[in-house]
Amino acid sequence: MGGEQMTTAQPGEKEMFGRYKKTVEQAIARVPVKNGVVDIDSIWIEASIPFDLLRKILARGDLELPGNVERINTISRARMGERSGNRRQKKRRRRHKVRH
């Protein structure tokens, strides 16, 4: 009796996961949509939940998406440290050869 291990999830864990799922669905309704696509970074910022948990929720595929959302882009730019496309990159100046 004392040596048995619990192999099932805790009763409160399933309820908590349901709450996070509901939070993500509400966040998706509030984030900007571009051509039917929502970025995971936007959802992450809006929902304010851990990124790994957000990925797990999105991976399940049982979210109710609004009508204007066709898919969710799960590649994160913020986590990879990429710069946004708005910034201009510095141009390298060419060194001119000096002629004598």
Residue 88 lies in a domain: no
Residue 49 lies in a domain: yes
With beta carbons less than 8 A apart as the criterion, state whether 77 and 41 touch.
yes
Residue 59 has pLDDT above 80, yes or no: yes
Residue 21 lies in a domain: yes
Residue 6 CA to residue 38 CA, distance in Å, equals 38
Residue 32 has pLDDT above 90, yes or no: yes
Tokens of 19: 């709450």
Residue 99 has pLDDT above 50, yes or no: yes
Q: Which residues form the domain of 36?
A: 14-73
**Total domains, the chain:** 1
Residue 30 lies in a domain: yes
Residue 25 has pLDDT above 60, yes or no: yes
Residue 38 lies in a domain: yes
> 87 versus 28: which is more confidently predicted?
28
Q: Which amino acid is at 74?
A: T
Residue 41 lies in a domain: yes
DSSP of 35-67, one letter per residue? TTEEEHHHHHHHHT--HHHHHHHHHH------T
Residue 45 lies in a domain: yes
Rg value, the chain, Cα: 22
Kindly report whether the global pTM for this prediction surpasses the value 0.85. Answer: no
Structure confidence at residue 31 (pLDDT): 95
pLDDT, average across residues 40-52: 93
Residue 19 lies in a domain: yes
Residue 55 has pLDDT above 80, yes or no: yes
Residue 33 has pLDDT above 90, yes or no: yes
Structure confidence at residue 13 (pLDDT): 79
